[in-house]
Amino acid sequence: MRRKYELIAAAGLVLAILISNTVGFVRDGLALDRLRGSVLRLHILAESDSERDQTLKLYVRDALLESGILGEADSLAEAEAIAADRLPDIERIAETVLRANGCELPVEAELADTEFDVRTYGDITMPAGTYRALRVKIGSARGHNWWCVMYPSLCVPAACDVTDNKQEELGRFDGEELDILYEPQKYEVRFAIWDKIKEIGKAVVVHCDENDGDA
């Protein structure tokens, strides 16, 4: 039975790849996976959707982006390790900003796998998908949130918004990844297919493993 499921999954994968122009499809999908696996997103959740709470969220955003707390990291693994070790410092930075603006709400920071929609910052667009993220929750964290990239430092505060850091982009990503960031519309369909294939593949593997356990 397991062999049967493996053959079905393999046939489906081969068919999808052939339809999507084989080599280019796989190359672009792997580039997407590299991109997702090389950044640490920043996810800030406001206390509420009130104008004051949303403004405080942006103050916290700017303070964390300007902190340089992950500046010594040379990889996602290093960035995660530093962030995990300095979660209390990250909470302290956020709380200091809140206290300076008359807000006594607590802050909780954590690292988590998080599902992100497509987001554009300056000239770059980060594809949708699951990323490792530094989540910063203000108070009850029931308000609209804000997403960007904490590592590498792609997002730079600029007045009330953020822009992209060209120097970091060119230094951290290869040509294929940069093309994804700057020309995302070219990849929407194939990335959707790529993720669906991986989703089906994972489901088949889990199903087969469960059947093996019952044997």
**DSSP letters for 18-84:** HHTTHHHHHHHHHHHHHHHTT-EEEEEE-S-SSHHHHHHHHHHHHHHHHH-TTTT--SHHHHHHHHH
**pLDDT attached to residue 21:** 63
Strands 119-121 and 124-126: antiparallel
pLDDT at residue 208 is higher than 80: no
Q: What is the pLDDT of residues 43-93, one digit of tens each?
A: 999 999 999 999 999 999 999 998 989 988 989 999 999 999 999 999 999
**How do the domains of the chain map onto residue ranges?**
2-34+177-214, 40-172
pTM, 2 dp: 0.79
> Which of the pair, 215 or 94, is modelled with greater confidence?
94
Q: Identify whether the C-beta of residue 113 lies closer than 8 Å to the C-beta of residue 130.
A: yes
